[in-house]
Amino acid sequence: MKDKSPIILALDTPDVSSVMAIIESTLDSISIYKIGLEFFLAHGKPGVKSIQDRFADIDIFLDLKLHDIPNTVAGASASIAELQPRFLTVHASGGNEMVRAAVLQLPSTSVTAVTVLTSLNEQELGHLGLPRDPAELAISLGRRAIEAGSTSIVCSPLEAATLRRALGESVTIITPGVRPENSAKEDQNRVMTPHEAIAQGANYDVIGRPITHAPDPKEAAKKIRNSLL
């Protein structure tokens, strides 16, 4: 099925009825929904299945950010395989073998490598003994994950153009940390508009509160979708 827009809607709540209501109200504009730890740890696979049963035409982005030894990640990936998420996140910093362990268990899922968390600034990267330049670090993490079989990566919109140049056209680039013009930044610091992120080379924008907390989520989703056409 063709995507209705390049928006992935972040459903950051453990509340099942809110999740169902927000999907229902945004279906005209969005076809990929991101389920993260907040929901998954509360409701597990049955919770995800209840969403899939009710909305047969949506795709699930399962944002579990797996990070462990390869054997454990293989087992965790096998445990969620029956959900057939379109995307599953793993931390690229878990290394080549770990990423490959997920890829081997999930042939029909795009194993999506999280590069550098946007919550880590240069100073914190330095304290952790990592390269201070997030773009430099994101390139090496992204390259390695792709070699291991990842087909998508998550990065800041500020690094999207650099990563697109470094990693080529075939990788799917997904950027959170976007905010429509005139909307509250909340805890996101370094933001771009959804349109700017796509112009920088991203394929998808992950957007949460600007839609889920809007007075009229249906309208908010439609407005952002139209800004991306």
Output the six-digit token pair for 42.
């509360």
Q: What are the angstrom distances between the C-alpha of 28 and each of 15, 165, 221?
A: 22, 33, 9
Q: Is 185 considered catalytic here? A: no
Q: What's the min distance (Å) between Cβ of 71 and ligand C5P?
A: 26
Map residues 18-37 to x or -, x wherever contact with ligand C5P holds by CB under 6 A: ------------------x-
Asked if residues 73 and 103 have their Cβ atoms less than 8 Å apart, the reply is no
Question: In this chain, which of 157, 177, 180, 217 binds ligand C5P, going by CB under 6 A?
Answer: 177
Task: Find tokens 């330049």 and name the residue.
Answer: 133
Q: Does 219 bind ligand C5P (CB under 6 A)?
A: no
d(C-alpha 34, C-alpha 85), whole Å: 10
Question: In this chain, which of 164, 209, 218, 222 binds ligand C5P, going by CB under 6 A?
Answer: 209
Return the range that interacts with ligand C5P (CB under 6 A); candidates 124-132, 158-166, 202-210, 221-229. 202-210
Q: Does 113 bind ligand C5P (CB under 6 A)?
A: no
Question: In this chain, which of 16, 117, 161, 166 binds ligand C5P, going by CB under 6 A?
Answer: 117
Nearest to 150 by CA among 72, 204, 205, 94: 94
Question: In this chain, which of 93, 109, 183, 188 binds ligand C5P, going by CB under 6 A?
Answer: 188
Question: In this chain, which of 125, 208, 224, 225 binds ligand C5P, going by CB under 6 A?
Answer: 208
d(C-alpha 60, C-alpha 57), whole Å: 10
Q: 65, 218, 222, 223: which one is catalytic?
A: 65
Output the six-digit token pair for 80.
């969620």
d(C-alpha 183, C-alpha 193), whole Å: 10
